[in-house]
Structure 1
């Protein structure tokens, strides 16, 4: 856990996360423009500010990037037909008039089989490789021992 940041330090850290530029972040946080470069560099060296920035970036990344468990859960839901995709369906109403509407469609058989294949691949269920273990005696023959 990081130490309590001042309001200015937290504003600096949050602006730095957005821009990646310490000088710009220092100016937006309220530091004097003439001292912004130095203040930004010093702030990035302070452990409690660095820890805050690292924790915030990790939280942002974990919220945006699916982890392995989430991917496996999604593939399982698709394979079981528990998900739905929204599709546009156009229906004729007569006299050359048609109407478009949205429907939720469960995964078709092809999509479910593909999800099952990806899950099977992950767990090694469909492998053609054969693993052979064993002990083999190896005898080294020196040059002098070879018959001509």
Structure 2
């Protein structure tokens, strides 16, 4: 079945940000009903197929695969900050080989030099900046990466699914049959 102009526009808009409600609004559906219409549209096999074909074309065109995305998320999710920084207590005196280099006298931290850091750890670093008191390193959000990977692998359910047949059989079991 061929898509209507509005449905095709919905598919195109949905691919921008995967936001059902906003895609429906941008495609010309009413703001009041955009959420429900958008979800109804996603259930239609012809729209689902059009979205999948467009995503496959985009993946082919860009050369980006689900495996690559998961691999990048894994770099963030399984990061170990000890591969990016070194820390430890050092003496305050200036004569020691490990003398306090930052002048603070407490747990100096140094970045692993860029030529020593491995690619996976470098991919997990979000920001490196120089502050008045030293160097600041910020890693990408580990928990968000793990949750994204878990969702992709089907480990988490965003919606509660109810088996109606099981529910009805439980009700029948608990209700006394009037013929008995």
TM-score (norm 1): 0.42
Higher alpha-carbon Rg: 1
Q: If each structure's helix is expressed as a fraction of its own residues, which one has the higher value? A: 1
TM-score (norm 2): 0.35
